[in-house]
Structure 1
Amino acid sequence: MNRARTNDRRRSGDGPRRSRSAGRPQNSGRRPAAAPQGGEFALPKTITPALPAVETFAELDLPARMLSALGDQGVTVPFPIQAATLPNSLAGRDVLGRGRTGSGKTLAFGLALLARTAGKRAEPRRPLALVLVPTRELAQQVTDALTPYARAVGLRSATVVGGMSIGRQAGALRSGAEVVVATPGRLKDLIDRGDCALGDVTITVLDEADQMTDMGFMPQVTALLDQVAPDGQRMLFSATLDRNVDKLVRRYLTDPVVHSVDPSAGAVTTMEHHVLHVQDEDKQRTTVEIAARDGRVIMFLDTKHRVDRLVKQLLKSGVRAAGLHGGKSQPQRTRTLAQFKDGQVTALVATNVAARGIHVDNLDLVVNVDPPGDHKDYLHRGGRTARAGESGSVVTLVTPDQRREMTRLMSLAGITPQVTPVRAGEAELARITGAQAPSGVPVVIAAPVVERPRRTASGSSSRGRRGRSSGRGGGQGAGASGTSNRTGAAQSRTGQGRPAGDTPRRRPRRQSAGGATGSAGTAA
């Protein structure tokens, strides 16, 4: 491994790493959590003293090419969670990190994972490092964030999530990938098919562990963790630490270095929090006026049906809106997010599918059209704004019958919001949210329809399709990537190029009548 710097402090940290195999069966350092406080467990105490925090990336034992890549990306000063955990994670220590959304958690674990894997080569189907995440969007965000640094040290990555071609993802793993970023369900599917084995994984990261437990992934997560190398390094990062996460900490982390940026209730203290009391009959008009503001906004609703209905109304009113929810295919979701980020869409209407893993620069307003179900959902919805030190506002529309429950939820979140009665068209609503009357001129947003079966048929022969399936997973976005920097470009090509590809698809079917290509074309 080509490390730019080596010093005694880093080498001395290797001690616990080498002795881990003997320590794990005795549960060394796995102390039971104390009684939960405010719904969270008491952070475990570290037995082995942690290495001190650094002030610059140059102080870290990172490969020279990775340090150069950090500079190229304009990343010059580590965030607190990075400064505190990287010295220890680079030394092989287990890490338990809690940080607010947008606090820099991805690079906190990602730089250590890549630096400690650099110089190694994975066998086909046998990755060396694993990042488990709860959602497709977060998988893509992690992949995008780590791409320049993985490229800098020559590491191959595969991103495997549901909703994308499992064949292409299997192909990326067969080609060899040192790093896998995965959602639990799809990774389990690949393992069951014999396309992936975790026995060589020596570094495992659980990102947003609390949501994985909330979504019912605990059995899958524990089954996967039981398959990785037993003496490997484990890192767990989360915005909140509830009792389900405590089970993972006690079972899988050995004498972890613990770092908490701030209490989870303060995860959104850099924001303004507004509860707007609205009347039932005025809520819809109020929502439309907020969506018509100058600037982008994410609006959260409870169900897919309500999302689709609001999007239709906003488009009819002249607001450039699009919906994001679990009923959309992954290519559709990827394209919708791209439209929101580049300004084609100004109002993103979503269910909780977007509550984690979505990073949009300079987003200063999140609106809970439907109040969240619990305080953790509130924190993570709100986490789409005020990221990385930026300012932002979280606005929740509350009807009379919802007021008592909303008061309870805010208390659990540790937040004292500004409560304001508002009506559509009033100056106070405009002051808080930038609301304004919509143009009333209907608009049409190009639908991000990207049908995978038709794309699969675009090759001129069955051999061509097989080549693409195993060829580093290009053209999938979050589906699978070989050298990770190809992911974004491939997404762009598939998201925009499919309609133009209809004519070439018909030509190969005439050339090879009755062949595999013709069959696939019919299926499309």
Structure 2
Amino acid sequence: MSSSFADLGVPSSLARVLDDLGITTPTPIQAATLPDSLAGRDVLGRGRTGSGKTFAFLLPLVTRLAAGGRPPRPGAPRALVLAPTRELVGQIEAELAPLAAAAGLSSQTVFGGVGQNPQVRGLSRGVDIVLACPGRLEDLIGQGHCTLRDVEITVLDEADHMADLGFLPAVRRLLDQTPRGSQRLLFSATLDNAIDVLVRRYLRTPVTHEADSAQSPVATMSHHVLHLADRAHRLPVLLDLASAPGRTVVFTRTKHGAKALARQLNNNGVPSVDLHGNLSQNARTRNMEAFHSGRATTLVATDIAARGIHVDDVALVVHADPPVEHKAYLHRSGRTARAGAEGTVVTLMTDDQVRDVRALTRAAGIRPTTTRVDGAGHPVLGELAPGERSRPGGLVADAPAQPTAGTSTGRGRNRRRGGSGAARSGNGSAKSGSGSTGRSGGGNRNRSRRGGSGGPGKSGGHSAAGFSSGRR
């Protein structure tokens, strides 16, 4: 593997941007794909979530557009990035922003759940890059606000997830509108028949690269199954795990379950937010902002968050409800142990779920350690989530924020915060402090955070809009 981005052909101006972000060594998927994508070839890249796929396609996209030097026409972007969820679009925009600024390129995000007028105005000014969810983009094209006839490069990110969500017909209609000879890059964690159809129809003699396959084990990720003696132990065990230092992501199977569990955690003093399909875009943004900033230390989510949510230093992923199939397990679990960092994955299992969980882990290619647990306080919980337990107080939705400059929002909060920087996404933009994929040098941060040694966290003077501490 090449030792630097410059060795792979990345321009020095963009390599300096990466260096400023602390990203100095290409990940395997980046090292494998960049020479071909920078040369203008169609590329099919397969790599697990968290493997660095975002920079693998953003670097060639920015490089080739900057080399072209042609300004965009109003409503006619020069590049298109398609992603399955609003959150992922926002994350991609955050990682694109410093690269685009260095190259003098403009971008516009396009997704539903928010008013279209800011997006229409952005397109009408002329932008080099559109990052979009398929549905809203089709709407704007149908209204005459956008055309894809000038697109030079098209990227499909998380193509398999778009297939799972039923977006492939819209994706095909959009790709049919891009020029036949334009470059196309398709990135996916898994490859199946649906993806093969896209490859055969739209990629010209593609070069295929595979690195960090979704089925390959992550050496820094440990997997555990907690066999609950009684389902009544579920909440006490979750409270015990979520009260440890560090960020935790808990997955449930249903939207109602996510909302209810987040409420239970908050009622018991664990600052938590939920993320699921029933939330408005403003609520999603507010909740993710609280989790990014550290005001909420636990995110309770459905599978909507299993892809594309990049949050630094998630030390623990808990499957409160085991997923139905192994791909969902792998992508949920990929919220931790990202870019070489360490992480722990825990699945809660009741007696009637034993057969399903065994089949699930076998299909996922993992061999978890199984422990029978009879409630909170079991010794294994302290091993999985080390550190002093604290419950500084739940978050109360829709209460006015009451910031206090220079103070912490709760006991032990600096340990939990970790200084990852606030991340914000709004109408077509997102900002991220350090949520970059492919960062090097962060391999031991989760372990030290879980051990309670703590880093120099931010003060808790900032309150996300719509939340207040329940401890007051």
TM-score range, shorter chain: 0.7 to 0.9
367 and 302 in structure 1: CA distance in 2 versus 1, 3 angstrom threshold: same
What pairs up with 1:357-506 in 2 under 5 angstroms? 357-424=308-375, 425-434=377-386, 439=391, 443-445=394-396, 447=398, 477-481=425-429
**CA–CA distance in structure 2, aligned partners of residues 339 and 442 of structure 1:** 14
205 and 448 in structure 1: CA distance in 2 versus 1, 3 angstrom threshold: farther
Tell me if structure 2 keeps the 8 A contact 1:336–1:448.
no
For the residue of structure 2 that corresponds to 1:364, the secondary structure is strand
1:275 to 221, 225, 241: 225
**CA–CA distance in structure 1, aligned partners of residues 23 and 232 of structure 2:** 48
371 and 485 in structure 1: CA distance in 2 versus 1, 3 angstrom threshold: closer
Matched with 2:253 is 302
For the residue of structure 2 that corresponds to 1:144, the secondary structure is helix
**CA–CA distance in structure 1, aligned partners of residues 192 and 399 of structure 2:** 37
Q: Does 1:337 align with 2:285?
A: no
Tell me if structure 1 keeps the 8 A contact 2:399–2:466.
no
**Aligned AA for 1:414?**
G
For the residue of structure 1 that corresponds to 2:314, the secondary structure is coil
430 and 385 in structure 1: CA distance in 2 versus 1, 3 angstrom threshold: same
**Aligned AA for 2:271?**
R
2:299 to 330, 348, 358: 348
| Shift of residue 129, structure 1, vs aligned partner | 0.5
Matched with 1:77 is 25
**CA–CA distance in structure 1, aligned partners of residues 140 and 21 of structure 2:** 33
**CA–CA distance in structure 1, aligned partners of residues 146 and 300 of structure 2:** 36
**Aligned AA for 1:401?**
D
Matched with 1:65 is 13
Matched with 1:41 is none
Tell me if structure 1 keeps the 8 A contact 2:398–2:466.
no
96 and 336 in structure 1: CA distance in 2 versus 1, 3 angstrom threshold: same
The percent of aligned pairs where both chains have the same amino acid is 49
Q: Normalised by the size of structure 2, how large is the TM-score?
A: 0.82
For the residue of structure 2 that corresponds to 1:480, the secondary structure is coil
**CA–CA distance in structure 2, aligned partners of residues 271 and 498 of structure 1:** 34
**CA–CA distance in structure 1, aligned partners of residues 433 and 24 of structure 2:** 25
Q: Does 1:324 align with 2:275?
A: yes
**CA–CA distance in structure 1, aligned partners of residues 360 and 259 of structure 2:** 27
**CA–CA distance in structure 2, aligned partners of residues 191 and 76 of structure 1:** 39
**Aligned AA for 1:301?**
T
Matched with 2:262 is 311
2:44 to 93, 96, 108: 96
Matched with 1:107 is 55
Matched with 2:211 is 261
Deviations 1:320-357 (A, max 9, x none): 11111111122221221121122110111111111111
Larger Rg: 1
For the residue of structure 1 that corresponds to 2:215, the secondary structure is helix
**CA–CA distance in structure 2, aligned partners of residues 204 and 85 of structure 1:** 15
**CA–CA distance in structure 1, aligned partners of residues 307 and 294 of structure 2:** 20
Matched with 2:77 is 127
Tell me if structure 2 keeps the 8 A contact 1:276–1:398.
yes
Range with bigger deviation, 262-271 or 399-408: 262-271
| Shift of residue 81, structure 1, vs aligned partner | 1.3
Matched with 1:200 is 150
| Shift of residue 412, structure 1, vs aligned partner | 1.1
| Shift of residue 289, structure 1, vs aligned partner | 1.8
159 and 84 in structure 1: CA distance in 2 versus 1, 3 angstrom threshold: same
| Shift of residue 478, structure 1, vs aligned partner | 4.6
What pairs up with 1:145-224 in 2 under 5 angstroms? 145-224=95-174
**CA–CA distance in structure 1, aligned partners of residues 425 and 240 of structure 2:** 34
Tell me if structure 2 keeps the 8 A contact 1:276–1:419.
yes
Deviations 1:232-276 (A, max 9, x none): 111111111122111111111111111111332115453101111
Tell me if structure 1 keeps the 8 A contact 2:51–2:212.
no
**CA–CA distance in structure 2, aligned partners of residues 238 and 333 of structure 1:** 24
Structure with greater proportional strand content: 2
487 and 367 in structure 1: CA distance in 2 versus 1, 3 angstrom threshold: closer
**Aligned AA for 1:431?**
E
For the residue of structure 2 that corresponds to 1:197, the secondary structure is coil
Range with bigger deviation, 261-270 or 91-100: 261-270
| Shift of residue 397, structure 1, vs aligned partner | 0.3
480 and 438 in structure 1: CA distance in 2 versus 1, 3 angstrom threshold: closer
59 and 432 in structure 1: CA distance in 2 versus 1, 3 angstrom threshold: closer
Structure with greater proportional helix content: 1
For the residue of structure 2 that corresponds to 1:188, the secondary structure is helix
Unaligned runs of 5+ in 1: 1-52, 451-475, 489-494, 500-524
496 and 369 in structure 1: CA distance in 2 versus 1, 3 angstrom threshold: closer
Q: Normalised by the size of structure 1, how large is the TM-score?
A: 0.75
**CA–CA distance in structure 2, aligned partners of residues 398 and 71 of structure 1:** 43
Tell me if structure 1 keeps the 8 A contact 2:155–2:186.
yes
| Shift of residue 116, structure 1, vs aligned partner | 0.5
Range with bigger deviation, 266-275 or 192-201: 266-275
Tell me if structure 1 keeps the 8 A contact 2:149–2:179.
yes
**Aligned AA for 1:230?**
R
309 and 285 in structure 1: CA distance in 2 versus 1, 3 angstrom threshold: same
Count of residues in correspondence between the two structures:
413
Q: Does 1:244 align with 2:200?
A: no
**CA–CA distance in structure 2, aligned partners of residues 177 and 298 of structure 1:** 35
For the residue of structure 1 that corresponds to 2:395, the secondary structure is coil
What is the CA RMSD across the aligned residues, in angstroms?
2.5
